[in-house]
């Protein structure tokens, strides 16, 4: 068990936004790496048939014989689907294109919305000692994303700092409300994260002001700047924190990790260890 844990069971967080390209995967990978730097044990669950989180954490396609799909649909044992990554403290349940047919295949399954919940919250998970489970959602409000919301304690919403960013949000908020009413009343919004933020750009500043005015405390204090090192890192199969530790992108994801870690009462623990 890691030093980090205070509550006994992992905190499960979905990273969701039905828009593609808003930095869901980038944030999943780098938040995982940032929390791991703080001493947490983190499991990344790749729930996108594109498997970008798996690739970004160095899991070759050939290594993905069992995936999140098998975990959900065939109840494959956790130790067969969970892999170590090259990053200390970060494990992954990988994905491949098998997941793309899940929506259709599961339509007649009574438990179709709860499959990921049942997989991630099974007692056998405790033996792994994870502090956080981060679920990288596909760019849709499909059954897969609903599974993530049903399985999670909270949802982190990356928002690209561009025009119309807030408009897409209302649909996601509706889905979250629906899930709360039907399947998971404890689902909270962990926060809305402004990504690819360019402080010299007036439009980005407007989006930020708009988001902070409308969403208030839900918006993370930390914003992720547009940073080329962040976009280069996946081609080296590394989080930016490992690819270029001193970059602005790494600094930002460290700040986000700390902002989140503090919510779970780790301040004193972190101070003790000098973070």
User: What residues make contact with Mg ion under the rule CB under 5 A?
Assistant: 24-25, 52
Task: Produce one character per residue of 71-102: b if its CB has 16 or more CB atoms within 10 Å, e if not.
Answer: bbbeebebeebbbebebebbbbbbbbebbbeb
Nearer to ligand ADP, 35 or 125 (CB): 35
| Residue with smaller CB distance to ligand ADP, 125 or 219 | 219
Residue 237 binds to ligand ADP (criterion: CB under 6 A): no
Partner whose footprint covers residue 21, from Mg ion, ligand ADP, none (CB < 5 to 8 Å by kind):
ligand ADP
Nearest to 69 by CA among 18, 143, 12: 143
CA distance 241 to 12: 22
For residue 219, give the DSSP letter.
B
**In whole angstroms, what is the distance from residue 244 CA to residue 183 CA?**
41
Give the range of 15-23, 104-112, 121-129, 165-173 binding ligand ADP by CB under 6 A.
Answer: 15-23
- Answer for the pair 53, 44: CB distance below 8 angstroms, yes or no: yes
**Closest by CA position to 93, among listed 158, 131, 48, 159:** 48
| Closest distance to ligand ADP from the beta carbon of 77 (Å) | 28
Residue choice 230, 237, 258, 260 for contact with ligand ADP (CB under 6 A): 230
Q: Which does 224 bind (CB under 5 to 8 A by kind): ligand ADP, Mg ion, none?
A: ligand ADP
Residue 226 binds ligand ADP, judged by CB under 6 A: yes
Q: For CA atoms 235, 241, 242, 244, give the dihedral sign.
A: positive
Site string for ligand ADP, 165-204 (x = CB under 6 A): ------------------------------xx--------
**Residue 22 interacting with ligand ADP (CB under 6 A):** yes
The yes or no reply on residue 26 touching ligand ADP (CB under 6 A) is: yes
Name the minimum Å distance from CB 53 to Mg ion: 7
Cβ–Cβ < 8 Å for 139, 19: yes
Q: Which of 52, 54, 68, 250 binds ligand ADP (CB under 6 A)?
A: 52
Does residue 20 belong to the site contacting ligand ADP (CB under 6 A)? yes
Smallest distance from ligand ADP to CB 85, Å: 17
78 touches 50 (CB < 8 A): no
Select the binding partner of residue 30 from ligand ADP, Mg ion, none (C-beta < 5 to 8 A, by kind).
none
- Which residues does 179 contact at the CB level (< 8 Å), separation at least 6? 146, 149, 150, 187
- By C-beta, is 39 or 55 nearer to Mg ion? 55
Q: Does 54 bind ligand ADP (CB under 6 A)?
A: no
Report how far Cα 49 is from the mean position of its chain's Cα atoms: 15
Q: How far apart are CA 117 and CA 237, in angstroms?
A: 28
Q: Which residues bind ligand ADP (CB under 6 A)?
A: 20-26, 52, 139, 195-196, 224, 226-227, 230-231, 234, 249
């Amino acid at each position: 068990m890691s030093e980090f844990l205070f509550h006994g069971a992992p905190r499960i967080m979905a990273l969701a936004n039905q828009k593609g390209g808003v930095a869901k995967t980038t944030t999943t990978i780098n938040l995982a790496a940032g929390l791991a730097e703080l001493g947490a044990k983190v499991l990344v669950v790749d729930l996108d048939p594109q498997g970008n989180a798996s690739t970004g954490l160095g899991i070759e396609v050939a290594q993905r014989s069992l995936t999140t799909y098998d975990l959900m649909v065939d109840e494959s044992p956790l130790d067969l689907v969970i892999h170590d990554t090259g990053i200390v403290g970060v494990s992954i349940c990988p994905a491949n294109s098998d997941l793309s047919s899940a929506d259709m295949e599961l339509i007649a399954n009574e438990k179709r919305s709860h499959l990921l919940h049942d997989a991630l919250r099974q007692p056998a998970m405790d033996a792994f000692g994870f502090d956080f489970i981060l679920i990288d959602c596909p760019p849709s409000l499909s059954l897969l994303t609903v599974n993530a919301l049903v399985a999670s304690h909270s949802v982190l919403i990356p928002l690209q700092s561009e025009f119309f960013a807030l408009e897409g949000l209302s649909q996601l908020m509706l889905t979250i409300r629906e899930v709360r009413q039907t399947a998971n009343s404890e689902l909270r919004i962990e926060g809305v994260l402004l990504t690819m933020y360019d402080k010299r750009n007036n439009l980005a500043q407007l989006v930020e002001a708009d988001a902070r005015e409308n969403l208030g405390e839900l918006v993370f204090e930390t914003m992720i700047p547009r940073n080329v090192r962040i976009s280069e890192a996946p081609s080296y199969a590394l989080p930016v924190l490992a690819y270029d530790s001193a970059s602005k992108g790494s600094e930002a994801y460290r700040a986000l990790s700390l902002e989140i870690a503090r919510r779970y009462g780790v301040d004193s623990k972190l101070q003790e260890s000098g973070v």
